[in-house]
Structure 1
Amino acid sequence: MIEMVIEQRRRSLGGGLEVGRVLPFAKRRMVGPFVFFDHMGPMDLAAGVDRSVDVRPHPHIGLSTVTYLFTGEMMHRDSVGSEIAVRPREVNWMTAGRGITHSERFEKARAMGDHLHGIQAWVALPEADEECDPAFTHLDGDALPTWTERGASGQLIAGSAFGLTAGAPVFSPMFYIALTLAPGATAELPTGHRERALYIAQGAITLDGRDWQTGQMLVLDANAAAIRSAGGALVMVLGGEPVGERFLYWNFVSSRQERIAEAAADWRAGRMKLPDLDNGEFIPLPDDPGLPSRPLP
């Protein structure tokens, strides 16, 4: 039933912002179309927190990002003109396609302090859609399909599961669910997809006769399964159909290595548009002798 266990690896993004990196993993690069999975926090941000904690404008290609918060708030600005606060239990789905740039700022925390806890995942686009037009979609919590059964509350973030379909503009068969389990609750996991996994964001669960803890991703086979939590838990359930091998460098995802090199060159040369409402700074391309070395102006 459980094919692999992936432990989160703590990573600093600078400025005091820390995440638990789950995907990609050396022995499991993707689950369905999911190519990247970061657990943000949980962490307290004090009032007046320095701007170094912000994620300055940076680029993406070939993927969709989905940001989902349990607590806290981030301000999203991008190069297609979006400006919106990312709040708990809402969905912010950004399709990079041929190229987009965005920033994530902690403006509420700077004003009054905040407690940040959430997940950011990247979904690889099928080859036919890798160069689609960039776009951004925001969905309020009331717009997401929800259900409650046996003490478990589910929210369908994207894709299709249990006969329900979410409103995020997905490009391949997939599902992404947030489950809140009360103490003693049980929950069935969706079937019908070739690849599945769950990630324990908070608390602990029992599956396959063993207990599993916060920070673990369990990669599952295709058989029916149910989880139980004695003390309560927050669990993300994800998966879908594979889209094929993908190359990942920094914030770029593509089925073609040469496309990533092209995007890196474009970013170095300043050919990717910054967000109109946040164009005063950016994150430089990391040094890499295998990529073009021209500095950004």
Structure 2
Amino acid sequence: MSADRFLPGLVFLCLGALAARAIGLTVGLNHLLVAIALGFVLANGPGVPDRLRPGIATHKLWLGAGIVLMGASLTLEAILEVGATVLFVVVLVIGVTIVVVETLSRTVFGLAERLGSLLAAGAGICGVSAVVAVAGAIRAREDQIAYAAATVLLFDAITIVVYPIVGELLGLSDVVFGVWAGVSMFSTGPVVAVGFAHSEAAGQWATMTKLSRNALIGLVVLAYASYYAQTGDGGRPSIRLLWAEFPKFVLGFLALVVLASAGVFSPAQQTAIENAYNWLFLLAFVGLGTEIRLDELRTTGITPALAVLVSLLVVSAFSLALLVLLF
């Protein structure tokens, strides 16, 4: 596969990142949110030309690379300072989210069991990635996967706008806002974006919290596979499937945290790495914006969206109240 086919899209991501930084500095807006807006305008205005698609599709790679490099700016001491509390909140909120979505889907909105499970996994763990992983384990239909994925993307788009506004209005601290975004929003990209839109520290806490959620995807897939296997209508997830869906940038992130804790990086090197991951995030978020397409969001069924909306309101309020109490 020729690298030339990626070049036009990569050039667009770079130009978009430069434009986002310039606009942010000029008008006082957060440059990461501007980057998402630029991608959104392209996708929903003239549309993404075919020649740009391969390069733009690499935006998930740049997001993962940025998260890995961010590990160099953190230490185990800083993480462990409130790590046990954050882990407790993560596990509790995942459990509450899955129970609330499953209950609403089955008893209030009358959705099919598997569709409810896909929505619960997407809301509880890591968005579309969790939807796809669980779908393979429970043998969900293609239309159910499509509905669940579209619903997750809808709320990714909404929370990117709403969370920064709520955080500003409530005057949330960096730790509270970052962990709140990390435990209650759905997909990794939007979580990182709104975290860093609030502050550098909030972005770091949002990312760490979200990574801890992502790392639990294997347990959730196994739990759902076991449940549906008891009904005689589920599949058995293989080690290959679990490894394929596991977010491997978590391992890279942890490796750099260990190196930073050992004092491997000088202050100058850490500054350079921080600058590098900020630019990688800009590239990633320009691409992320192109995935928010209004025509696809309009196809989302109203009932799945209502179930997830009620769940999001409940879980967001619960997790925020819990975090304010703990921190």
With the shorter chain as reference, the TM-score category is under 0.3
Greater relative CO, 1 or 2 (CA 8 Å, sep 6+): 2
Give TM-score, length-normalised by structure 2: 0.25
Structure with bigger strand share is 1
Structure with bigger helix share is 2
